[in-house]
Amino acid sequence: MEKVDFSKEAITSEEELRNFVGTPHELVKKKSISIVDDQAKRFISMSPLLFLATSDAEGNCDVSPRGDNPGSIVVLNDHQLVIPDRPGNRRVDSILNILTNPHVGLLFVVPGLEEVLRINGRATIIKNKDILSKMSLKGKAPSIGIGVDVEACFIHCTRALHKSKIWNPEKWPNKEEVPSMMEIFHAHLKINGVKIKE
């Protein structure tokens, strides 16, 4: 199929968008708060997985999954939290983005729950040893962390996870039918001209 020109028949204003989707209920508008309250702190403390959305100075976006032990995110106070940056593949896409554009979005997931907690704010790459020492894993503290000044915090409804049936093993695909990480990795290397030894 040829590339589609999405600019044709595109929605280009909020007014036009509202004609299609309507307006949110007043309670939905008011569910966002600017602090991390006690309920949100409890949710974060039970989350072993979050998704971190960033973009660079030009607006190029990235979303990165961050998995760790529940309780690994340190909530310093009602306005700030810190995410440890554990050693990885050294691409540091999120970190590089934050250096040029501090705006971030976080989505916290708790296994078995269909609700997710969303936090938006401004991030800073920190090297504060006193804070990072609280995030030690197997006796080793991360060398850097992502400090977030929270601007918005709210619970997101169950619709997406409920409809996806993500927690229902009966709906999971057969693993043999899903391309493996190495299959995708090698296919992408080949597209970029890297020769793979078979």
pLDDT of 109-135, one tens digit each? 999 999 999 999 999 999 999 999 999
pLDDT band at residue 37 under the 50/70/90 scheme = very high
**Mean pLDDT for the stretch of residues 61-72:** 95
First to last CA, the chain: 31
Domains in the chain, start-ordered, CATH in brackets?
25-167 (2.30.110.10)
Strand boundaries in 9-161, DSSP class E: 49-55, 61-67, 74-75, 80-85, 103-109, 116-126, 144-156
Supply the pLDDT for residue 124: 98
Global pTM? Answer: 0.92
Give the whole-number percent of the chain exceeding pLDDT 70. Answer: 99
Residue 65 has pLDDT above 90, yes or no: yes
Q: What long-range pairs does 159-167 form, CB within 8 A, spacing at least 24? A: 160/116, 161/113, 161/114, 161/115, 161/116, 162/114, 167/111, 167/112, 167/114
Tell me: pLDDT of 198 over 80.
no
Within a 10 A sphere around the Cβ of 87, how many other Cβ atoms? 8
Q: Kindly state the percentage of the chain with pLDDT values over 90.
A: 90
The runs of H, that is alpha helices, within 30-180 are: 38-45, 93-100, 129-132, 159-164
pLDDT band at 147 (very low <50, low <70, confident <90, very high): very high
